[in-house]
């Protein structure tokens, strides 16, 4: 019987396989997760190299580096992050976990942040480092064990859904956060009714192995001594619907999705969580 990777509970029950991977759901914190956990970094490299989304991320970083793109080109969750953090923090040290090719770091530097990155995949780590950032190529737990630096803000966009041990990652984030700092996370939102209908390689096991909703995210944060200050998502799941049905299909469904959202039957594709140390 598998153990929940967030709350360590054995109160888990099997769920239908997803992309051929056995799934379980925790009866305590409601995390949905795969039983097969350890995926080599090389698998991510191979999948992302073949995924057009990753090529777009590389181009976006290049455009940010040469000044042809800026804040307006960022995904909504990253634009929200800057607005939220800058309104509440006076310090400007930032760690971006899973920084990828470096687009967010570049925009952060332009806005006055002293930004550092952690990235396990070699190619995007090298691209980020080429822009003059201090980048740790490896796992966050290893970085946390060898640095004394603490940060005003830690961001991790679309990271926790990938990691075999989300609890140890959150413990490491907490250890790197200043006492009055803020942690901002984004993950695919399990409360989005379309999420588990996706079949593109970048959104299913073995790439995504943890599926969070608000309850499981709040539980995970508490396990690391943190507490959720705010959850944020878009009112309707535009991203997953567009992936499933195309842009035209999304436009045709928008009125229906908008109506469902009024009755709380629709939820956004991305869940952003802001957390701080528990008082």
Please determine, for residue 90, whether its predicted confidence score (pLDDT) is greater than 90. Answer: yes
Count of C-beta atoms within a 10 Å radius of residue 201: 15
Measured on CA atoms in the order 43, 237, 218, 101, is the torsion positive or negative? positive
Give tens-digit pLDDT for 2-16. Answer: 899 999 999 999 999
CB-CB contact of 101 with 128 (8 Å): yes
Q: Domain spans of the chain?
A: 40-230
CA 208/CA 210 separation, integer angstroms: 6
Q: What global pTM score does this model have?
A: 0.94
For the domain covering 40-230, report its CATH number. Answer: 3.40.50.150
Give tens-digit pLDDT for 48-79. Answer: 666 777 788 899 999 999 999 999 999 999 99
């Amino acid at each position: 019987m598998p153990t929940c990777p967030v709350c360590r509970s054995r109160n888990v029950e099997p769920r239908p396989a997803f992309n051929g991977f056995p799934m379980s759901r925790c009866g305590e914190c409601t995390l949905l997760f795969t039983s097969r956990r350890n995926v080599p970094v090389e698998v991510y490299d191979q999948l992302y190299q073949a995924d057009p989304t990753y090529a777009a991320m590389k181009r976006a970083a290049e455009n940010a580096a040469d000044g042809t793109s800026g804040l307006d080109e960022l995904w909504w969750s990253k634009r929200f992050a800057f607005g939220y953090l800058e309104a509440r923090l006076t310090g400007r040290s930032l760690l971006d976990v899973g920084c990828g090719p470096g687009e967010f770091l570049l925009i952060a530097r332009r806005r006055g942040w002293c930004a550092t990155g952690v990235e396990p995949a070699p190619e995007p780590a090298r691209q980020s480092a080429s822009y003059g950032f201090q980048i740790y190529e490896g796992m966050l737990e290893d970085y946390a064990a060898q640095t004394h630096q603490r940060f005003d803000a830690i961001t991790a966009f679309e990271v926790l859904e990938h990691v075999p041990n989300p609890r140890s990652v959150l413990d490491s984030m907490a250890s790197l956060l200043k006492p009055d700092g803020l942690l901002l996370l984004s993950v695919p939102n399990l409360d989005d009714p379309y999420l588990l209908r996706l079949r593109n390689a970048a959104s299913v096991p073995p790439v995504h192995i943890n599926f969070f909703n608000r309850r499981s995210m709040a539980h995970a944060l508490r396990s690391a001594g943190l507490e959720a200050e705010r959850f944020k998502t878009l009112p309707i799941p535009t991203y997953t619907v567009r992936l499933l049905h195309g842009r035209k299909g999304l436009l045709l469904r928008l009125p229906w999705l908008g109506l469902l959202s009024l009755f709380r039957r629709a939820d956004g594709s991305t869940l952003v969580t802001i957390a701080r140390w528990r008082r």
